[in-house]
Amino acid sequence: MKKITYILLALLVCATFIGSASAFTNTSGAVVDPSGSLSPGEDVIATMAIKISGTESIDKYNIYLSTPLDDATWSLSIYSCDGSGTPGDVALSTPVYQGKSATIAGFSLDYPDGSYLSIVLSGKVSTDSSGKSISVMKINQAQTTGGSAVYSYTSPEQRVYNPDDLSSQITATESEITTLESRIATYSSYGIDVSAQVTNLQSAKTSLAAAKAAGTADVVNANKYLDAATTTLSNIEKALSLAGLNAIKANTDAVDLIVIELNGKGWDSEANLLAITNQGIKNTYNLDADRYNSGGSPNVDENLKASEQAVADGNAYLEKASASPLAAIGNVLPIIIVIVVAVAVVLGAIVFIRRRRGGWDELG
């Protein structure tokens, strides 16, 4: 199996590194298995390939390897590349190194341009790493006489679970499921389609149950189930954010139309109050939309509730306005009042003048 791994790695690296002029280069990072979060005592294998250029005086340099893994074993091999994209024979297989660190002397890497160094690291996650983040593999190239590294590589950090945290993590996940279940029910009461989220929540519950069943006796799988539940819950939160934002946008658009209709019926005070409320909802919507578009999952529940209330208030105003005897008069009411007042003033003036002249004559 290990021989097959070397051959596949050689094929990939030869095809990738032909024509490179750097002494030590890599175009991709280490392949770490498992690639995600780790658990104390878990077996880990990491593979890495470094291209060697024979045009450099590499006898003056050493390669330093290090790892935080326990029981670490470094399997190193030199392969040659003839330019055809196929691996050559193993030119040198160095003795296997044991321990957290290893040094490869420069003279042992003095091979023709196109050769490469294959590194296979295996070991176990240390219990000392519990609750921390670790980089499984670190590589540095430096002069044999000392000095700063001229080449370095560090694999991405991976979180290491702490078995002591399992109980609290399960409790936190249970709490999050309860909260999301309530939120989903609220969204459903607003008429929002959350059927997909109901299904996803059930999936999270299933993963949580599996994590509980595994427990500290199988902390590796317990944490993997918890990770699956957490990922599902995060996706639900993201989906609720989007559904809420869409509903808020629809509600604010509806309120805008209600405001126009209220103004048309002469209910200006109610229309203005509703418009001010709606603008505040829009402002919050814009902020939350920016957060969502930036990759966040904003909780829009309160703003959604406010938008639903604004629609309800607007419809209530419309119902009252439509039932009012003045509703049919609408915007012409002020004009009618002005006309009536003007007529009253004119008639009053005529009466006053006639009385001053001594009364009405027969012709009026």
Per-residue pLDDT of the chain (364 residues; tens, 9 = 90+): 344 344 334 433 343 333 333 355 665 788 999 988 888 888 999 998 887 765 455 567 788 899 999 999 998 887 766 544 455 556 555 668 899 998 887 656 666 666 777 889 999 999 999 889 999 999 988 776 666 667 788 999 999 988 888 999 999 999 999 999 999 999 999 999 999 999 999 999 999 999 999 998 888 889 889 999 999 999 999 999 999 999 999 999 999 999 999 999 999 999 999 999 999 999 999 999 999 999 999 999 999 999 999 999 999 999 999 886 555 455 555 666 777 777 777 676 666 666 665 554 443 4
Tell me which architecture the domain covering 2-159 has in CATH: Sandwich (2.60)
Query: Which pair of tokens denotes residue 323?
Result: 């039932």
- Asked whether the CA dihedral 339, 342, 344, 347 is positive or negative, the reply is negative
Give the whole-angstrom CA distance, residue 234 versus residue 214.
22
For 41-79, b/e burial (b = at least 16 CB within 10 A) is: ebebbbbbbbbbbeebebeebbbbbbbbbbebbbbbbbb
Cβ-defined contacts of 222-231 (< 8 Å, 24+): 222/166, 223/37, 223/39, 223/161, 223/166, 223/169, 226/166, 226/169, 226/170, 226/173, 227/36, 227/37, 228/204, 229/173, 229/177, 229/204, 229/205, 230/173
Distances (CA, A) of 112 to 63, 79, 83, 132, 243: 17, 10, 11, 41, 60
Cα gap 41→330, rounded to integer Å = 79
